[in-house]
Amino acid sequence: MDLEKLQQKLMAVAKASPPSEQVPYAFEKRIMARLTAPLSVDVWAVWGRWLWRAVAPCMSVMAALGVWVLATMHPEPESQNLEQAIENTLLSGDDVAGE
């Protein structure tokens, strides 16, 4: 099949049948109604939009704080043994009361 000729034929058909200029009844009124309608604000939609926008900055701040805490954290010196650590913890109340 001659594709070049087929293309020409189809384009000729498309040229010969331009689309209709028909307009639905009172379409201009519909557009004017849209243009002149008072702007109604959906508060919840606005709130939702702002929440979504806040997600990225909040995550960034959280990540930055996490990195900062990890970088500046000084590890506690390890206790001599677990038994001593428990005893210190349990008796710390008595020490305070004794003072």
Q: Which residues bind another protein (CB under 8 A)?
A: 1-3, 5-7, 9-11, 13-24, 27-32, 34-36
Helices and strands, counts by H and E, the chain:
4, 0
47-58 per-residue burial string, b: 16 or more CB within 10 A, e: under 16: eeeeeeeeeeee
DSSP summary character for residue 62? H
Using CA atoms, how far apart are residues 93 and 88, in angstroms rounded to an integer?
A: 9
Using CA atoms, how far apart are residues 28 and 20, in angstroms rounded to an integer?
A: 17
